[in-house]
Amino acid sequence: MRFAFPGMLALVVLVPVAGLWWTFLRARREKALCKITLNVPKSHGSSFQSAAILSGLVLCLFAASRPQWGRTLEKTISRSRNVVVAIDVSRSMLAEDVRPNRLERAKADVADLIDSLDGDRCALVAFRRTGVAICPLTTDRGYLRGALEQMSPESAPRGETDLGAAIRASLDALDPAADDHNAVIMISDGGDLRGEALQAAALAKKRGVPIFTVGIGDPRSGASIPSEDGRGVMRHQGSEVKVKLEEAALKAIAEASSGRYVPLATAGTAETTLGAIYRRFLRQVAAKEQSEEERRAAERYQFFLVPGILLLIIGAALSRGRFRACADGAMRH
The answer to whether residue 173 scores a pLDDT higher than 90 is: yes
Per-residue pLDDT, 97 = 87
- Least Cα distance to 218 among 261, 247, 186, 240 occurs for 247
Inter-residue contact 185 to 135 (CB < 8 Å): no
Residue range 206-243, pLDDT digits in tens: 999 999 999 998 888 878 888 877 777 877 777 788 88
Cβ-proximal residues to 236 (8 Å cutoff; 6+ apart), any chain: none
Higher pLDDT, 307 or 317: 307
For residues 286-303, give the mean pLDDT. Answer: 64
The answer to whether residue 84 scores a pLDDT higher than 90 is: yes
Q: Show the domains of the chain with their CATH numbers.
A: 2-66+301-332 (no CATH), 77-291 (3.40.50.410)
Residue range 4-30, pLDDT digits in tens: 778 777 787 777 777 777 777 777 776
Inter-residue contact 214 to 277 (CB < 8 Å): yes
**CA dist., res. 97 & res. 103, Å (int):** 11
Listed range (72-86, 113-127, 146-160) with the worst mean pLDDT: 72-86
Residue 236: its H or E element: strand 235-236
**CA dist., res. 55 & res. 77, Å (int):** 40
